[in-house]
Amino acid sequence: MSTWHPLSFRDRPIAQGVSYPDQAKLETTLTRLRQLPPLVTSWEVERLKAHLADAAKGERFVLQGGDCAETLQDCQPELISVKMKILLQMSLVLVHSTMKPVVRIGRMAGQYAKPRSQKWEVRSTTDGDVTLPNYFGDLVNRSGFDAASRAFDPTLMLTGYQHASMTLNFVRSLMDGGFADLHHPEQWDLSFFGNAVLSDALRAEYQRTTDDLSRALRFMEALGELSVDELSRVEFYTCHEGLNLHYESAQTHKVPRREGHYLLTTHMPWIGERTRQLDHAHIEFFRGIANPIGVKLGPTATVEDVVGLCDALNPKEEPGKLVLITRMGVDKVKTCLPPLLQSVRKTGRRVLWVVDPMHGNTRTASSGFKTRSFDDIQREIAWTLDAHADAGTILGGVHFEMTGEDVTECTGGAAGITDDDLSLNYATACDPRLNYRQALEMAFLLSRRMRADQAKA
Ligand code: PEP
Ligand code: CO
């Protein structure tokens, strides 16, 4: 294998590559980006890796989630705090059922670059059809449908980095005590408990979980001041898709007193379903960094692909290093997932398995909106858990696209959102997200299933 360095990916073919027309402007931007202070530190990255190693053994559970595409406009205190709030509340519901610490990883502070199935977008206008480059996220170009907005602009990497930094700065303040009250279910919006779609048995069970949680928290607080202080401090990590390798490589550095290179734009980057070709640029870049790395695996992933990814990204079999995020879709999960689980188990590889029940379940509603059904999402999780139980492997986490806001992008759930409701508040910059109540309800359902599994074990 050739020698790795932060720019060695440039010699490889690339899928979803971002090529800038003005090379000089690109290099000036990258020079500046390289000089800026990092967003995360190597010790945080190593701490997360240790947590992920625990999750791979079933000793922790990972909750990864956030927007499909974060936008620069989303960098606002209310929007950031509602995202944190839903992640925190879901994590408490999961702690309650698993009795394990939950590792929270937000698709935040840099989830600005999106792979697209179509390179170009065509729209009919009064002047006939207009074709422009597709929107690849705010780190690459802008969403407005005009030539200037859609041009690939390297300076957006600097703007994106600054917004990621402001977002993370606020996240860190909130983590350091700003969330004390939000631990308490009394502060949550549990109005969906009252919806007619929910059966009496489920309603009673959710209420019991909530009451248990309230009592446990009050008990912890009553133990003494240290507990209150500890409780109000929240550990939180960031992740994003490492799509734009120019951006990622500019903040990839050696750090004092540690081996290797660290990517310092985020704690845990992931490689998307469309960019995981073994001989291509993304694998070349990510094989050289010390961070834990996620890889999305869709229904076309073969056993050879998965073994190849383990060899390339984690040749030393470091615990907590490789996170395989399966996103098969409800129609394919029963056939496509088991062979992958069995082959990895047979080779004895150490990986952390996570399920993304969102990306294989996207459909177009009768009203024309891109959507996902709550039931499909829930069934993919359930069937993924079944497949792990059969294969003797461990599902160590879940990955959702969700938001703390009251949007109407996914159908179903106790909220009873129908295809016709989607137009009410369809706000995503890319894929449909679970709204606040759907996300919380999903956590209750997952929690219920995991508790039932534990009772069986
Ligand atoms: C995503 O997570 O937003 C995404 C594009 O996922 P995938 O690569 O699995 O399609
Ligand atoms: Co998405």
Residue 205 near residue 457, CB atoms below 8 Å: no
Q: How confident is the model at residue 226 (pLDDT cuts 50, 70, 90)?
A: low
Q: Specify whether 242 is located in the same domain as 353.
A: yes
Going from the C-alpha of 2 to that of each of 9, 292, 318, the distances in angstroms are 11, 22, 21
Cβ–ligand 1 distance for 296 under 6 Å, the answer yes
**∠ CA 9-15-20 to the nearest 5 degrees?**
75
- Which ligand has the nearest atom to the CA of 273? 1
Residue 152 near residue 135, CB atoms below 8 Å: no
Residue type, 69: A
Q: Which domain holds residue 216?
A: 180-191+198-231
Mean pLDDT of the chain: 94
Q: Which atom of ligand 1 has the smallest separation from the CA of 298?
A: 9
Q: Specify whether 187 is located in the same domain as 271.
A: no
Q: How confident is the model at residue 395 (pLDDT cuts 50, 70, 90)?
A: very high
Cβ–ligand 1 distance for 139 under 6 Å, the answer no
Residue 430 near residue 111, CB atoms below 8 Å: no
pLDDT digits (tens, 9 = 90+) for 111-143: 999 999 999 999 998 989 999 999 999 999 999
Considering the chain, what percentage of its residues have pLDDT values greater than 70?
96
Tell me the pTM: 0.96
For residue 334, is pLDDT > 70? yes
**What is the number of residues in the chain?**
457
How far, in Å, CA of 445 to CA of 316, rounded?
37
Token pair of 236, please?
Answer: 């939180």
Q: Is 335 exposed, middle or buried (0-12, 13-18, 19+ CB in 10 A)?
A: exposed
Residues 6+ apart with CB under 8 A from 186: 214
162: left (phi over 0), alpha (psi -120 to 50) or beta: alpha
For residue 233, is pLDDT > 70? no
Cβ–ligand 1 distance for 327 under 6 Å, the answer yes
Q: Which atom of ligand 1 has the smallest separation from the CA of 111?
A: 3
425: domain CATH number is: 3.20.20.70
Residue type, 454: Q
Give the mean pLDDT of 444-457. 92
Q: Specify whether 89 is located in the same domain as 215.
A: no
Q: What element of type H or E holds 323?
A: strand 322-326
Q: Specify whether 452 is located in the same domain as 319.
A: yes
For residue 342, is pLDDT > 90? yes
pLDDT at 188: 80
Give the mean pLDDT of 306-315. 98
> Does residue 387 sit within a domain?
yes
Q: In sequence order, what are the beta bridge partners of 354?
A: 325, 397
Instruction: Find the 401 Cα to ligand 2 centroid distance in Å.
Output: 7
* Extended beta strands in 48-118, E state: 61-66, 102-107
Q: What sign has the CA pseudo-torsion 316, 109, 231, 447?
A: negative
Q: Is 379 exposed, middle or buried (0-12, 13-18, 19+ CB in 10 A)?
A: middle
Q: Which of 116, 359, 398 to mutate to test the pocket of ligand 1 (most atoms within 8 A of CB)?
A: 359
Q: Specify whether 445 is located in the same domain as 389.
A: yes
Q: Which atom of ligand 1 has the smallest separation from the CA of 272?
A: 8
Residues 6+ apart with CB under 8 A from 380: 328, 329, 330, 333, 355, 357, 360, 361
Q: Specify whether 220 is located in the same domain as 286.
A: no
How far, in Å, CA of 101 to CA of 407, rounded?
29
- Any idea which of 94-103, 258-267, 307-316, 366-375 has the lowest mean pLDDT? 94-103
By three-state DSSP, how is residue 396 classified? strand
Q: Which atom of ligand 1 has the smallest separation from the CA of 430?
A: 3
**HSE, side-chain direction, 13 A CA sphere, residue 134:** 16
> Does residue 404 sit within a domain?
yes
Q: How confident is the model at residue 332 (pLDDT cuts 50, 70, 90)?
A: very high
> Does residue 382 sit within a domain?
yes
Instruction: Find the 272 Cα to ligand 1 centroid distance in Å.
Output: 5
> Does residue 163 sit within a domain?
no
Q: Where are the alpha helices (DSSP H) in 99-199?
A: 147-150, 155-175
pLDDT digits (tens, 9 = 90+) for 173-184: 988 776 766 677
* Extended beta strands in 157-316, E state: 237-241, 252-254, 261-263, 268-271, 293-297
Q: Is 143 exposed, middle or buried (0-12, 13-18, 19+ CB in 10 A)?
A: middle
> Does residue 242 sit within a domain?
yes
Token pair of 447, please?
Answer: 């929690």
Q: Specify whether 301 is located in the same domain as 205.
A: no
Number of separate domains in the chain: 2
Q: Specify whether 275 is located in the same domain as 225.
A: no
Q: Specify whether 323 is located in the same domain as 447.
A: yes
For residue 228, is pLDDT > 80? no
pLDDT at 10: 97
How far, in Å, CA of 387 to CA of 371, rounded?
26
Cβ–ligand 1 distance for 115 under 6 Å, the answer yes
Cβ–ligand 1 distance for 329 under 6 Å, the answer no
pLDDT digits (tens, 9 = 90+) for 68-110: 999 999 999 999 999 998 998 899 899 988 999 999 999 999 9
pLDDT digits (tens, 9 = 90+) for 156-213: 999 999 999 999 999 999 887 767 666 778 778 888 888 878 888 888 988 998 898 8
Give the mean pLDDT of 380-401. 98
Cβ–ligand 1 distance for 359 under 6 Å, the answer yes
How far, in Å, CA of 189 to CA of 435, rounded?
12
pLDDT at 174: 87
Residue with tokens 């860190």: 172
Q: Which of 134, 136, 327 to mutate to test the pocket of ligand 1 (most atoms within 8 A of CB)?
A: 327
Q: Specify whether 205 is located in the same domain as 258.
A: no
Q: Specify whether 106 is located in the same domain as 184.
A: no
Instruction: Find the 227 Cα to ligand 2 centroid distance in Å.
Output: 38
pLDDT at 40: 98
Instruction: Find the 123 Cα to ligand 2 centroid distance in Å.
Output: 22
How far, in Å, CA of 272 to CA of 248, rounded?
14
pLDDT at 232: 60
